[in-house]
């Protein structure tokens, strides 16, 4: 309210101040076994109900530093059979500018009873009008001593004269019965979507103790009252801020906006009309939508409607290349099996792995021998897998975990590389000879886990890929420093050119550190047939022999004419 409005209000006609009698108390017999007690306090009330301050209080325009209080009393508590059915505090005020469009700068006049805030927490009204705000009074505020101490905190968001208001009266209305029956128990509340306070979710309250709701075994119904804070700093009745006046156990998502605070009051009422103390539950609705309730907002969730998945984690486009004559170096062209790949490790909100997808292509096959391509996951068992499948050039099949492994998951992805790498140009090999530019073979794979697995257990992509001859399962060829599986032939280690220390720091390398398999973090052109990789990529020698310490981008510097499509 402007200062001009405050000055004008002080000279309004006498009709502005409603003339009312001093404190009045009455009890009415409702002729149905119940009684209604009413007590009204106004400007003319005296101690102990009201001590009028000097120049403010009831019937005066009062501002932020002119807070005041009063006391209602209920003197009938001596009768042990008296049971309260309802208790309401009605406060009539004028020019209470509590409209929600003011935001936190509006006139918010807080009401508390016996030192505790009520629900709603504010007087409710609009500019230039009289309004009456109804507060449900907790039974404990009456039954403890029969005194209800009310306090008005005027314009609680300002420490200077901004808004003013005046009160006509405060009225305590108590309906009670004289009965040996006991009041119902306090409702025990739980909620749906408790961990997901998202603006696209209904707010649903559930009363858990409906089977044991009343000490006398009376039937019980429940009364719901909903409040909301849309940015005012205190909750008010939902209809006051333009919401539906909800009276059931649910607020639909269409009524909820991000950033709002919602509160429900639930009161049990038994078949005798006796009530419990009210129970409350409060929602602080996230400003962000989280449709699947996994704790990740939709804007940050790659799978906003899937609570088991939250993020895609792609590797860069990379290339695997193998030499199949291990433990001998052979022609060392590392083109016997070449595969481009990208892995996507799909994780949940707790950073645990739910799914692993592979998207790749078989780029080359320079082997005369028939080999298989497999993938091993250390520290993972077959029982953890929900489903696994692979598609090669449009042919889909389920993957079956290889037997013979303990706490290791092994799948053979390509059972015979020869079968899927037939040159379109009639060459003996596949994309390793000059002139052969056959289409690469697309490959996709997906492994879905029953629950999730720890990232630390499953390791990093590309995990543990290897090849082996179709007719010699034990002769596995792995990336350097990767472990053989339980089916590998350990007798081949330290034979030929191999210098592996199984269980030690070095596997699948020569004495000079040259590998039989490469994981190149790039789209890469492999050597053509019978060209030693050291001749096709001269910088690889120092890279390998320095244990990857030098020439780390060796794969970007081929010798023209010595690798596939790098002329």
3-class SS letters over 138-194: CHHHHHCCCEEEEEEECCCCCCCCCCCEEEEEEEEEEEEEECCCCCCCCCCEEECCC
Cα–Cα distance for residue pair 172/38, rounded to 1 Å = 6
Residue 378 has a pLDDT of: 87
Positive or negative, the Cα torsion across 421, 427, 428, 431? negative
CA distance 464 to 284: 46
The CATH class, in words, for 189-284 is mainly beta
Distance CA 474, CA 494 (A): 15
Question: pLDDT at position 327, please?
Answer: 97
Mean pLDDT of 348-365: 97
Residue 258: the pLDDT is: 86
- Residue 113 CA to its chain's centroid (Å): 37
CB contact at 8 A, 527 and 533: yes
DSSP 509: B
Average pLDDT score over the chain: 92
Q: Is the model more confident about 307 or about 192?
A: 307
State mean pLDDT over 188-196.
80
Does residue 352 register a pLDDT over 90? yes
Report, as an integer, the average pLDDT of 81-86: 94
Looking at residue 13, what is its pLDDT?
A: 28
CA gap 194, 442 in Å, rounded: 45
Q: Tell me: pLDDT of 205 over 50.
A: yes
Per DSSP (E only), the strands in 272-352 are 279-284, 318-322, 337-347
- Under the banding of pLDDT at 50, 70 and 90, the label for residue 169 is very high
**Range from 9-23, 40-54, 279-293, 378-392 carrying the lowest mean pLDDT:** 9-23
Alpha carbons 341 and 333: distance in angstroms, whole number: 20
CA distance 93 to 135: 14
pLDDT of 532-541, one tens digit each?
999 999 999 9
- Residue 566, exposed/middle/buried by CB under 10 A (0-12, 13-18, 19+)? middle
The per-residue pLDDT for range 377-418, each reduced to its tens digit, is 988 999 999 999 999 999 999 999 999 999 899 999 999 999
Task: Please tell me if the domain spanning 3-178 has the same topology as the one spanning 189-284.
Answer: no
Q: Which of 127-136, 193-202, 470-479 has the lowest mean pLDDT?
A: 193-202
| Architecture category of domain 3-178 in CATH | Sandwich (2.60)
d(CA 107, CA 105): 7
Asked if 42 and 150 touch (Cβ cutoff 8 Å), the reply is no
Cis amide linkage into residue 37, ω under 30° from 0: no
Report the alpha-carbon distance of residue 58 to residue 19 in Å, rounded. Answer: 11
The shares of helix, strand and coil residues in the chain, as percent rounded to the nearest 5, are: 10, 35, 55
Place of tokens 């040996």: 180
pLDDT for 19: 35
Class of residue 435 by CB neighbours under 10 A (exposed 0-12, middle 13-18, buried 19+): exposed
- Per-residue pLDDT, 195: 62
Q: Are 467 and 374 in contact (CB under 8 A)?
A: yes
* Span of 198-202, 236-240, 489-493 with lowest mean pLDDT: 198-202
SS3 6: helix
pLDDT of residue 5: 30
Residue 192: the pLDDT is 79
* Contacts for 247 with CB less than 8 Å, ≥ 6 apart: 223, 224, 225, 226
> pLDDT over 90 for what percent of the chain?
83
Cα–Cα distance, 240 to 212 (Å, whole number): 35
Q: Where are the domains of the chain?
A: 3-178, 189-284, 318-556
pLDDT of residue 153: 97
Q: Tell me the average pLDDT across 37-45.
A: 96
Is the pLDDT at 9 greater than 70, yes or no? Answer: no
Report pLDDT for 136.
Answer: 95
pLDDT digits (tens, 9 = 90+) for 322-347: 999 999 999 999 999 999 999 999 99
pLDDT tens-digit profile of 221-271? 999 999 999 988 889 999 999 999 999 999 998 999 888 999 999 999 999
For Cα atoms 559, 563, 564, give the angle at the middle one, nearest 5 degrees. 145
Segment 507-553, tens digit of pLDDT: 999 999 999 999 999 999 999 999 999 999 999 999 999 989 999 99
The span from the CA of 5 to the CA of 114, in Å, is 33
Q: Can you tell me the mean pLDDT for 122-150? A: 95
* Distance of alpha carbon 162 from alpha carbon 2, whole angstroms: 7
Q: What is the pLDDT of residue 503?
A: 77
């Amino acid at each position: 309210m402007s200062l001009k409005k405050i000055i004008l209000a002080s000279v309004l006609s006498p009709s502005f101040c409603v003339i009312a009698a001093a404190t009045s108390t009455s009890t009415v017999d409702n002729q149905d076994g119940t009684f209604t007690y009413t007590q009204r306090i106004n400007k003319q009330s005296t101690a102990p109900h009201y001590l009028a301050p000097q120049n403010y209080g009831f019937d005066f325009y009062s501002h932020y530093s002119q807070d005041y209080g009063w006391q209602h009393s209920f003197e009938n508590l001596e009768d042990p059979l008296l049971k309260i059915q309802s208790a309401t505090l009605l406060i009539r005020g004028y020019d209470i500018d509590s409209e929600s469009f003011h935001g936190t700068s509006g006139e918010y006049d807080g009401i508390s009873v016996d030192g505790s805030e009520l629900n709603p927490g504010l007087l409710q009204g609009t500019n230039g009008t009289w309004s009456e705000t109804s507060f449900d009074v907790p039974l404990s505020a009456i039954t403890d001593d029969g005194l209800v101490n009310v306090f008005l905190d005027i314009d609680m968001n300002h420490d200077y004269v901004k808004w003013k208001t005046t009160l006509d009266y405060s009225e305590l209305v108590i309906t009670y019965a004289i009965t040996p029956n006991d009041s119902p128990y306090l409702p025990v509340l739980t909620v749906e979507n408790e961990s997901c306070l998202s603006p696209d979710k209904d707010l649903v309250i559930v009363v858990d103790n409906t089977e044991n709701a009343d000490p006398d075994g009376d039937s019980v119904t429940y009364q719901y009252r909903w409040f909301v804070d849309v940015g005012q700093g205190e909750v008010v009745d939902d209809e006051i801020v333009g919401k539906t006046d909800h009276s059931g156990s649910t607020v639909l998502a269409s009524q909820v906006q991000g950033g709002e605070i919602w509160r429900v009051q639930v009161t049990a009422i038994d078949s005798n009309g006796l009530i419990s103390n009210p129970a409350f539950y409060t929602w602080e609705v996230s400003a962000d939508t989280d449709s699947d309730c996994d704790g990740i907002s939709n804007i940050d969730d790659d799978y906003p409607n899937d609570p088991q998945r939250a993020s895609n984690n792609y590797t860069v486009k990379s290339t695997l290349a193998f030499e199949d004559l291990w433990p001998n170096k052979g022609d060392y062209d590392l083109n016997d099996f070449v595969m481009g790949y990208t892995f996507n490790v799909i994780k949940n909100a707790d950073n645990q792995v739910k799914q692993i997808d592979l998207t790749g292509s078989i780029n080359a096959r320079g082997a005369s021998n028939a080999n298989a391509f497999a993938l091993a996951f250390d520290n993972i068992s077959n029982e953890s897998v929900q489903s696994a499948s692979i598609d090669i050039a449009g042919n889909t099949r389920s993957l079956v975990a290889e037997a013979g492994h303990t706490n290791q998951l092994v799948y053979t992805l390509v059972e015979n590389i020869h079968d899927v790498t037939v040159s379109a140009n009639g060459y003996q090999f596949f994309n390793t000879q000059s002139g052969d530019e056959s289409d690469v073979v697309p490959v996709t794979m997906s492994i879905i886990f029953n629950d999730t697995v720890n990232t630390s257990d499953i390791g990093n992509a590309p995990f543990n890929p290897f090849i082996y001859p179709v007719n010699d399962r034990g002769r596995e060829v792995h990336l350097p420093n990767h472990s053989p599986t339980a089916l590998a032939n350990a007798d081949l280690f330290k034979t030929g050119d191999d210098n592996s220390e199984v269980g030690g720091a070095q596997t699948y390398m020569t004495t000079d550190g040259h590998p039989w398999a490469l994981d190149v973090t790039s789209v890469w052109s492999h050597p053509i047939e019978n060209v030693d990789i050291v001749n096709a990529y001269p910088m690889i020698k120092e890279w390998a022999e320095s244990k990857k310490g030098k020439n780390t981008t060796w794969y970007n510097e081929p010798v023209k004419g010595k690798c596939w499509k790098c002329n």
